Amino acid sequence: MKQEVILSRALATDLNRVVQQHPSDQLFLLTDEQTHRLCAPLLSPVITAREIVIPAGDVHKTVDTLASVWQTLSNGGATRHSLLINLGGGMVTDLGGFAASTFKRGIAYINIPTTLLAMVDAAVGGKTGINFNGLKNEVGVFSPAACVLIDTGFLRTLDRPNLLSGYAEMLKHGLISSEAHWAELLNFEIAGNVDYDALKTIVGRSVQVKEHIVAQDPLEQGLRKALNLGHTVGHAFESLALSRRQPVLHGYAVAWGLVCELYLSTILTGFPVEKMRQTVGFVKEHYGAFDFDCHRYDTLYELMTHDKKNHAGIINFTLLKDVGDMSLDHTADKKLIFEMFDFYRETM
């Protein structure tokens, strides 16, 4: 099933049209506490929906929250012909998509991402899921939304850390697509006085990169693994931070993961050192560093063995030969992975 992605210029008009294109017996709107307060009022003149409000934050992307959404759908009389609208960041679109895809064996859903991370990554591509057993997105299904409505106007109210979090996924898209897109992202003023009109254009380009890859490999059998660049290490950083009860934003973890995996790329596939240093410099300037010492190397290694793209317990990396030249399914021994951590701590 192809996922329709609309870069909206008039959210109310586009949403009204999309809802009419997907007739339903009941309409439900899933938000978290923040998007319920800040974003849901924008939709109330357009649609009449039963609201489901869940706690905000990735720590609530759990079985318990998922069950509460199922419960509300069930108590509200939802059927297979109902429609769920997910309004929020990646946590809402991931969990809401999973709830919709499993309730009554699947009801239609629409994503309206409100964060940059959700716009360029989480809400697009049909991945849904929850965190489980201390691991990120451990349980979920591939199930595309009927439509993803992207309105970059929401970004004007986004705080700087969350803007940067989404931008890290865009940087990844630049690295796996073209030198021009990568350079454009490195040179864009994301940390100062942001030009939101220019950002909208770059967001559109970033979404196209992901759409192009997902269309060719919707179930991640091959090419889609390219989107995992930075994530094998990034998810380990994220899980370690969660275990410390000091969670970090997903995009920050990905940015730090890019530093590590670009280092591996220079060693294993000949990625140009200068391009690696330019990218690392950008990450260091905008994202700071994740704090860990050598006593955490074994823990991080163990967390990396749980990555969903591994086979038979062997850690699998997506690497680059150059910007836009992907090299999938790489392995590295424990010694090299520890050297990678050394490089990270010395450089950052």
**What digits encode the pLDDT tens for the residues 280-325?**
999 999 999 999 999 999 999 999 998 777 777 789 999 999 999 9
Active site residue 210: yes
Whether the pLDDT of residue 140 is over 90: the answer is yes
Q: Contact 68/61 with Cβ under 8 angstroms?
A: no
Per the residue annotation, which of 231, 238, 261, 316 is the catalytic one? 231
Fold of the domain spanning 4-157: Rossmann fold (3.40.50)
* Domain 165-347: which CATH number of 2.40.40.20, 1.10.10.1200, 1.20.1090.10, 1.10.10.60: 1.20.1090.10
* Helix, strand or coil, per DSSP, at residue 123: coil
- Residue 1 pLDDT: 57
Strand duo 147-150 + 135-139: pairing:
unpaired
- Residue 41 pLDDT: 92
Active site residue 231: yes
Per the residue annotation, which of 111, 131, 162, 228 is the catalytic one? 228
Per the residue annotation, which of 60, 172, 173, 250 is the catalytic one? 250
Q: Residues 6 or more apart from 196 whose CB is under 8 A from it?
A: 152, 155, 156
- Residue 306 pLDDT: 83
How far apart, in whole angstroms, are the C-alpha atoms of residue 120 and residue 134? 25
Per the residue annotation, which of 75, 105, 133, 285 is the catalytic one? 105
Active site residue 224: yes
Q: How far is CA 160 from CA 9, 116, 165, 190, 232, in A?
A: 23, 11, 9, 9, 25
- Residue 307 pLDDT: 77
Active site residue 104: no
Active site residue 250: yes
pLDDT tens-digit map of 74-129: 999 999 999 999 999 999 999 999 999 999 999 999 999 999 999 999 999 899 99
Closest C-alpha to 332, from 310, 299, 308, 306: 310
Which own/partner contact pairs does 97-100 have at CB distance under 8 Å and 24+ positions apart?
Answer: 97/126, 97/127, 97/128, 97/143, 97/145, 98/66, 98/128, 98/129, 98/130, 98/139, 98/140, 98/141, 98/143, 99/30, 99/66, 99/69, 99/70, 99/73, 100/128, 100/143
H or E segment to which residue 187 belongs: helix 179-187
Residue 218 main-chain phi, psi, to 5 deg: -65, -30
Q: Residues 6 or more apart from 221 whose CB is under 8 A from it?
A: none
How far apart, in whole angstroms, are the C-alpha atoms of residue 48 and residue 233? 43
Q: Residues 6 or more apart from 7 whose CB is under 8 A from it?
A: 150, 152, 200, 203, 204, 207
Per the residue annotation, which of 60, 61, 181, 210 is the catalytic one? 210
Average pLDDT over residues 248-271: 97
Amino acid in the structure at residue 149: L
Per the residue annotation, which of 86, 220, 238, 316 is the catalytic one? 220
Average pLDDT over residues 220-249: 92
Q: Contact 195/109 with Cβ under 8 angstroms?
A: no
- Residue 64 pLDDT: 98
Q: What token pair was written down for 20?
A: 């009419």
- Residue 2 pLDDT: 66
What is this structure's pTM?
0.92
Q: How confident is the model at residue 137 (pLDDT cuts 50, 70, 90)?
A: confident
Per the residue annotation, which of 61, 173, 181, 224 is the catalytic one? 224
Per the residue annotation, which of 173, 235, 261, 316 is the catalytic one? 235
Active site residue 235: yes
Per the residue annotation, which of 162, 169, 261, 275 is the catalytic one? 169
How far apart, in whole angstroms, are the C-alpha atoms of residue 248 and residue 231? 14
DSSP states of 194-240 as a string?
--HHHHHHHHHHHHHHHHHHHHH-TT-SSGGGGGGTTHHHHHHHHHH
Q: Residues 6 or more apart from 36 whose CB is under 8 A from it?
A: 51, 53
Parse the chain into domains and list their residue ranges.
4-157, 165-347
